[in-house]
Amino acid sequence: MKSIWEKDITKPTFEQLRGNVKTDVLIIGGGMCGILCAYMLKHAGVDCILVEADKICSGVTANTTAKITFQHGLIYNKIADKYGLEVAKKYLCSQKDAMEKLKELAGENFETCNSFVYSLQNRALIEKEVDVLNKIGVKAQFCLDTELPFNIAGAVKTENQGKIHPLKLAYSVAKDLKIYEDTRVTELKPGIAVTEKGAITAKKTIVATHFPFINKHGWYFIKMYQHRSYVVALKNAQHFKDMYVDEADDGLSFRNYNNYLLLGGGGHRTGQSGGNWEELMKFANKYYPESEEAGRWATQDCMTLDGIPYIGQYGKNTSDLYVATGFNKWGMASSMVSAMILTDMVLGKENQYADIYAPSRSILHPQLAINILESAKGLITPTVPRCPHLGCALKYNKQEHSWDCPCHGSRFDSMGKLLNNPANNDKKI
């Protein structure tokens, strides 16, 4: 189940770490976020090493739909309600800055288009988002006329957004970086990362492992949950000039790449049931009966309590340990935001966006109670096997033939090989 991004592309390869090395900054995690952090630090003159437990971009980055936009669902009215218009504007500016940097890096790979967030039933929510966006400086439009093959209650349209081939960008950036693949960090001590065949001494460390794997700092295991979503690539289906996302968590998304329609959706909390590929193919058969499936894959996203990523100091008492996580399905631009903020923090510079992304911000949000309840249910469920992360009962995912943790989102294949963290090792099934 490889994504179309992995077809017909030459991957750079990197050796495994063998022996002990030293560096100023260690970056753990070789997805888009880790690679951009390493790139920005290198260009700032900082000596850094990136380590990846598998192959770079073999996880979420290879399975994204790669929409480059500051329009993250209906995020702006939510931020304005919780924190005020000024914070919403600062979030917007950070994402716009990140988009410009990605556009410059991507070059011809960046395809400019419009972005639409639509609702099937709630016109008022769409109107509110349009109003907030216009107040903070975006020329957003309310639309009913779209390329979608069904009726909607309304959509928010923004111009000059983009889409890319994610691996073309990541691989072009990574080829000149100091990277070790097949190098899993098994233990992190102050100033030292232990791997299977060597140790890395570093003055500072960035954890960019999608879901943070260190439990004793930051409380990420209750501040986030993971959400699974699915994609099918269709031939002979409708060609979308622009990109579309449903405001609902379980809604559909649409974008084209070359001759493929990338239809996304079927989502659910990891470890629970959802529509998966069956829902997508049911939709395709109804609206595009002449289409052919050219590929299918799935991805997983870390969801924060308030919809804003956690970027900054890992915990209150970890001055030389940083984190970037919780991108809420919008990992492309948020990866660059992470690189911008963390590069400044490493250099001892003040970053104008750091405060709104600070992991130490308040956790008093309704989602916290849901996360705690789900974790408690997983812990008290008496069945086996159990997740090696924090001991929750695993549930079998019939669609993907995997064992999934409903507490924190770790996943294992049918033989117990680790597929998704925060677990940091395989599990006997």
Q: What is the CATH number of the domain that holds 315?
A: 3.50.50.60
pLDDT of 295 reads 95
Domain check: are 415 and 319 in the same one? no
Domain-embedded: residue 215: yes
**Residues 319-364: pLDDT tens digits?**
999 999 999 999 999 999 999 999 999 999 999 999 999 999 999 9
Domain-embedded: residue 109: no
Residue 401: how many CA atoms within 13 Å on its side-chain side? 4
pLDDT of 383 reads 85
Q: In which residue are the tokens 């058969």 written? A: 285
Residue 261: how many CA atoms within 13 Å on its side-chain side? 26
User: What pTM, to 2 d.p., does this model score?
Assistant: 0.95
Domain check: are 352 and 371 in the same one? no
**Residues 153-201: pLDDT tens digits?**
999 999 999 999 999 999 999 999 999 999 999 999 999 999 999 999 9
Total domains, the chain:
2
**Residues 281-330: pLDDT tens digits?**
999 999 999 999 999 999 999 999 999 999 999 999 899 999 999 999 99
CATH of the domain at 382: 2.102.10.10
**Spatial CB neighbours of 427, under 8 Å, sequence gap ≥ 6:** 385, 387, 388, 394, 403, 412, 416, 418
Residue 309: CB atoms within 10 Å: 28
Domain that holds residue 37: 4-64+167-222+307-357
**Residues 226-280: pLDDT tens digits?**
999 999 999 999 999 999 999 998 899 999 999 999 999 999 999 998 899 999 9
Domain-embedded: residue 146: no
Domain-embedded: residue 413: yes
Domain-embedded: residue 99: no
pLDDT of 427 reads 82
**Residues 32-42: pLDDT tens digits?**
999 999 999 99
pLDDT of 182 reads 97
* Best CA proximity match to 325, nearest among 233, 211, 404: 211
Q: Which among 319, 334, 357 is the end of a domain?
A: 357
Domain-embedded: residue 254: no
**Cα distance between residue 266 and residue 260, in whole Å:** 19
pLDDT of 273 reads 86
Domain-embedded: residue 129: no
Domain-embedded: residue 330: yes
